[in-house]
Structure 1
């Protein structure tokens, strides 16, 4: 190719940025449109700036999309989903499908009056139940998976006396030591009693449900076989059964669901020594009055409660 005014330098543009004319010389202006001709090293920063600007816009758009997704998810989880679940529960109550409604209300936690309604309809089903039936009341994290929804607690209706009903958990709900130390103790002073009436009580039951649980006057008799001191009588909302109570209600305590890996459940009656505690074993519901294992060993716990049947929620 012949260049009328000299061959264009390597740094100069070969094409006009405005009209696309192919330069055949090293002049400073385009002979077709008069646009200024720039060197390639002057044009590079312009192109880089354009790329940077485009990248910033793309990043901004992606960031806004992520923020909108997070906000949408938050709105769905905290406003839309609870409202839909609550409305479903109310519809189930209108259709008298109380068990299904209780499941829905349990998912809602303290949303609106969900806890109050859950307590109300759980009490209704407890009143309708017969001795030996299984009912739900309260909820507790029984699978021990952190952040999981608390599962409804299933209880065996053991007996009805006057305006109260005795409920025994249908399975062991936790593993706890009878006492934190291996020294002699009684039900009155053991750590299990404190755990049941503090941590467990407040974890498993709402304020409305706690108001339905009676304060029970417990007789803590001596071990019937070894005469080990049972300690003072106590008043408790939550407790574990005694040897005397297991023998009295044995027809219904046998029918239970053992937890994985458990071989029995703890009683509040002392064992042969003050540092032991009596236990019920799975096979034939055999009562071990001796129970040689230390009270500090975590053991399956089946809580029991007396619930007022005629209370107002």
Structure 2
């Protein structure tokens, strides 16, 4: 048996090296055992190799997904809006204002899309003819308060050299003519005040409000930007039957406007009824109720009207 210390050969029966005194079995036993540190290193190296191999496989996959996600985000928030914006500009240059209006509306606050949208509104008004339904302003209509207000569409009733008369296509709100049952005229009623204060500021931007004329109403002598049609205006400009009928918006219905099976509702005119305790209204079937409803009746819808300047 060779001594691991001095390298001399010894007989196997000796427990100690006869030359240097080193315990033979202990040394050889230790020499046969793997070093604890070396064994731990080997045990650590095996899973590390497997982990490294797995990383080599997963890394390209993660890179592909990461790059794909980056491209998708870039397309949605950078490239696609820019492409749509350029398309809107081209439509304006081609005088396709209806299409351009829709594009800039969809773009929301991207760049100057809101300004472009308002420019399109004015151009659409300028080119409007009687009977057109045109966009101008916005108001809650679908009764989904989470998605913001919706574009208001207006029916063109009269076209003059530098202005057009419009009335909302739908009844946009539910309201009484006045807050209590009493003698009242258009000049002093609650609904006039609401239209020219709350509705005006809610439905239109500052730029849009600049295009809404202050009109002196011939039958009342009041100066209003927003008003209700009179009995004569409704009869002359709309007529009766289907032409004078109005659907209520989903929001107005949710506020309590009763509708028939076709969604048509009753809606107010500004003219007094059989007395100043009443105001004339249009019924859902398309007729005009000249006796009117009590001014405190809350079941009627509201169709705002206005003159828009188109210089």
What's the TM-score, normalizing by structure 1?
Answer: 0.65
1:284-304 Cα shifts (integer Å, max 9, x gaps): x32212223452404211111
Task: Specify which structure has the higher proportion of helix.
Answer: 2
1:56-80 Cα shifts (integer Å, max 9, x gaps): xxxxxxxxxxxxx9xx97x887766
- The 1-side partners of 2:113 and 2:167 are apart by 24
- The 1-side partners of 2:245 and 2:265 are apart by 12
Counterpart secondary structure, 1:139? strand
- The 2-side partners of 1:150 and 1:80 are apart by 26
Counterpart secondary structure, 1:156? strand
Residue number in structure 2 paired with 1:19: none
On the 8 A contact 1:159/1:166 being kept in 2, the answer is: yes
The CA deviation at 1:30 is 12
2:230 to 239, 242, 250: 242
Distance 1:251-1:286 versus aligned 2 partners, 3 A rule: closer
1:171-215 Cα shifts (integer Å, max 9, x gaps): 212222222333332222222222222222222222221111111
> Does the alignment pair 1:157 with 2:156?
yes
- Farther off after superposition, 90-99 or 78-87: 78-87
The CA deviation at 1:281 is 1.5
**Hey, which bits of structure 1, 4+ residues long, moved more than 4 A?**
75-82
Q: Please list, as runs of the form range in 1=range in 2, the aligned pairs for 1:89-104 lying within 5 A after superposition.
A: 89-104=88-103
Residue number in structure 1 paired with 2:174: 175
Distance 1:93-1:275 versus aligned 2 partners, 3 A rule: same
- The 2-side partners of 1:276 and 1:218 are apart by 19
- Farther off after superposition, 237-246 or 196-205: 196-205
Higher-Rg member (1/2): 2
Runs (5+) with no aligned partner, structure 2? 1-29, 38-68, 250-258
The CA deviation at 1:149 is 4.0
Q: CA RMSD in A?
A: 3.9
On the 8 A contact 1:277/1:295 being kept in 2, the answer is: no
> Does the alignment pair 1:33 with 2:22?
no
Residue number in structure 1 paired with 2:144: 145
The CA deviation at 1:141 is 1.9
Residue number in structure 1 paired with 2:306: 305
- The 2-side partners of 1:78 and 1:117 are apart by 19
Distance 1:80-1:180 versus aligned 2 partners, 3 A rule: farther
Q: Please list, as runs of the form range in 1=range in 2, the aligned pairs for 1:1-313 lying within 5 A after superposition.
A: 32-35=33-36, 82-221=81-220, 233-251=221-239, 254=243, 257-259=246-248, 261=259, 262-283=264-285, 285-310=286-311
Distance 1:309-1:183 versus aligned 2 partners, 3 A rule: same
- The 2-side partners of 1:202 and 1:189 are apart by 20
On the 8 A contact 1:155/1:167 being kept in 2, the answer is: yes
Runs (5+) with no aligned partner, structure 1? 1-28, 37-68, 222-232
Distance 1:205-1:110 versus aligned 2 partners, 3 A rule: farther
- The 2-side partners of 1:256 and 1:89 are apart by 35
Counterpart secondary structure, 1:143? coil
- The 2-side partners of 1:91 and 1:180 are apart by 50
The CA deviation at 1:102 is 0.4
Distance 1:212-1:291 versus aligned 2 partners, 3 A rule: same
The CA deviation at 1:81 is 5.7
